[in-house]
Amino acid sequence: MSQAAAAAATHNVFVYGSLLADDVVRVLLNRVPPSSAALLNNFHRFSIKGRVYPAILPVENRHVTGRVLLGLTDPELIVLDEFEDVEYQRTSVEVSLLESSEKLQAYAYVWSNTSDPNLYGDWDFEEWKQLHKESFTKMTMGFMEELELPESKPRVATYESFYQQDSGNSVI
């Protein structure tokens, strides 16, 4: 593959939840790609009852801060698709880079159920890091081990079985 073709086959992905943590990204992709702080306008980041990760949905006059992972390969995008599972839909969005105000096309994983009664309030990354990052990273390791098996479980099943076993971590 020529260098130009390789460059054309890369993707930018706006992340706003657990994938803000380099440890989680490294487990999924075996690397931490270059990234840039970014803003997604007209969306809101919700907490989800019974989950430690957030959801975003379109909401006028709101915004979500996060970062854009730059230069992801097709195989890496497939891993993220598997990780985000059926709960999210990969959607093309326009984000603004915070350092330059430059606009950039990226994918974002948007919550599939637009009328989900389990969405509420705001989700806080700093709180997540303190309360859930360590156990979530372990769950992600289990997901990646499972993904390599011929009959792998979907990420939601991995998440639910992990957090049911791990009763020491309450899920709010």
Catalytic annotation, residues: 84
Compute the Cα dihedral for 19, 23, 26, 32 and give only its sign: positive
Residues 6+ apart with CB under 8 A from 129: 21
Residue 58 and residue 82: Cα distance in Å, rounded?
23
123, 103, 131: which is closest to 38 by C-alpha? 103
53, 70, 29, 58: which is closest to 136 by C-alpha? 53
Under DSSP, the state recorded for 66 is E
Question: DSSP readout, 79-105?
Answer: HHHHHHGGGEEEEEEEEEETTT--EEE
